[in-house]
Amino acid sequence: MQQIINFIIRNKSFLLYLLLFSIALVFTIQSHSYHKSRFINSANFLSGGIYKSVNDINEYVNLKTQNLILQEENSELRSLMFSQSDTINHTFIDSTYSGISYKFTPAVVLKNSYSLNNNILLINKGSKDSIQQDFGVISSKGLVGIIDNTSNKYATVISILNTNSRISAKLKKSNHFGSLVWNAKSPRFIQLTEIPKIASIQKGDTIVTSGRSTIFPKNIPIGTIESFQLDTAKNYYTIHVQLFNDMTSIEHVYVIENKDAEELNTLINSTNE
């Protein structure tokens, strides 16, 4: 016993190092697996508060461009509204959103990152605003990511520029669907995999969300096809998609809550069992 205690005292800094290193390693591994609730994230009052106060200042710098983007969106919505009153019901967009009720919550991005392998954003809405894990996040131009951790006032978002994220998407033209992954090379491009060889694709085709998961509604724009190639087994296409969204400068986003998500998920799970 005496020897064991002596050993511990003699090597206390090494043992402490091993302990702390393994704690750090556990945190790291957790951050590499999708949606494990993490202890260390920026959605807490300290880092959230600091990022918020800095963002309050930064907002003024981007005011002009962000105003333009909002104005663009406004005019788009306005044109939609007027075209709808002509044909009373069932325009194309209307029919896609019908049936499932989605609730949109506006939010502001406090921290944006796009140069790492696993990029995570911080927004200024949290569980106080009834934001929960697995809600979708979009901007006026297209897809942004999925909510990961929430605190009272803040929430972290797994960006689509994250090697762990997988979002179901389809070709707007032919409805062939695949999953979106990111190869961590450029923040302007994302990869769409698992599109079967039989699909006819062309450069410039539009990619939209498939609506197969309960997170995003159907037909949210993602990007256009930049280039494509067959994978090594020659069965599936890997498509490089140029994003509509400029992920390096996003400020105003919307969090989407699918009010029927719980019902849909229990139904799907019970069918699977």
Partner 1 sequence: MNSIIFTHTFRFIILVLLQVLVLNYINFLGYINPYLYILFILLYPLKNNRVVFILLSFFLGLTIDMFSDSGGVHAAAAVSIAFIRPFVLKFSFGAVYDHQTMKFSNVEFGSKLTYFTIMILIHHFILFSLEIFNLFKIILILQNTLFSSIFTIILCVLATIIFSRRT
Give contact residues for partner 1 (rule: CB under 8 A): 12-14, 16-17, 20-21, 23-32, 38, 40-42, 44, 46-47, 50-51, 54, 113-118, 120, 122, 156, 186
Closer Cβ to partner 1, 73 or 226, answer by number: 226
Cβ of residue 235: shortest distance to partner 1, in angstroms? 22
Closer Cβ to partner 1, 162 or 258, answer by number: 162
SS (H, E, C) the chain: CHHHHHHHHHCHHHHHHHHHHHHHHHHHHHHHCCCCCCCCCCCCHHHHHHHHHHHHHHHHHCHHHHHHHHHHHHHHHHHHHHHHHHCCCCCHHHHHHCCCCEEEEEEEEEECCCCCCEEEEEECCCHHHCCCCCCEEECCCCEEEEEEEECCCCEEEEEEEECCCCEEEEECCCCCEEEEECCCCCCCEEEEEEEECCCCCCCCCEEEECCCCCCCCCCCEEEEEEEEEECCCCCEEEEEEEECCCCCCCCEEEEEEECCHHHHHHHHHHHHC
Cβ of residue 231: shortest distance to partner 1, in angstroms? 17
Cβ of residue 47: shortest distance to partner 1, in angstroms? 5
Cβ of residue 233: shortest distance to partner 1, in angstroms? 19
Closer Cβ to partner 1, 31 or 224, answer by number: 31
Cβ of residue 178: shortest distance to partner 1, in angstroms? 22
Closer Cβ to partner 1, 7 or 97, answer by number: 7
Closer Cβ to partner 1, 30 or 62, answer by number: 30
